[in-house]
Amino acid sequence: MSDTERQVVIYWRPGCGYCQRLKGALGKDGQRATWVNIWQDDDAAAYVRSVNDGNETVPTVVIDGTPHTNPRPGLVKERLAS
């Protein structure tokens, strides 16, 4: 599946325990998402700040165009499974 077909984008950064928890909970379903490291992509970091009151709060997950800050893993997994 190409990145343009993926409807879930997960913004994350190394060392983030919440990001690790999400990745572990998603298991293989997580491969269907696009993962973007905000420490390697300035535009991604700016986007995360824009939807989190200026904070680089991760994971920020965009599902079908709607951002979710640190969503419950079940929400993300449900969308990836559909």
- DSSP character string of 3-60: GGG--EEEEE-TT-HHHHHHHHHHGGGGGGSEEEETTS-HHHHHHHHHHTTT---S-E
pLDDT tens per residue, range 35-79: 999 999 999 999 999 999 999 999 999 998 899 999 999 999 999
Domains of the chain are: 3-71 (3.40.30.10)
Give the per-residue pLDDT at 6: 58
Average pLDDT of 22-45? 95
Model pTM greater than 0.85?
A: yes
Confidence of residue 4 (pLDDT cuts 50, 70, 90): very low
Q: How far apart are CA 70 and CA 57, in angstroms?
A: 8
Task: Provide the 3-class DSSP secondary structure of residue 67.
Answer: strand
10 closest CA partner among 53, 48, 46: 48
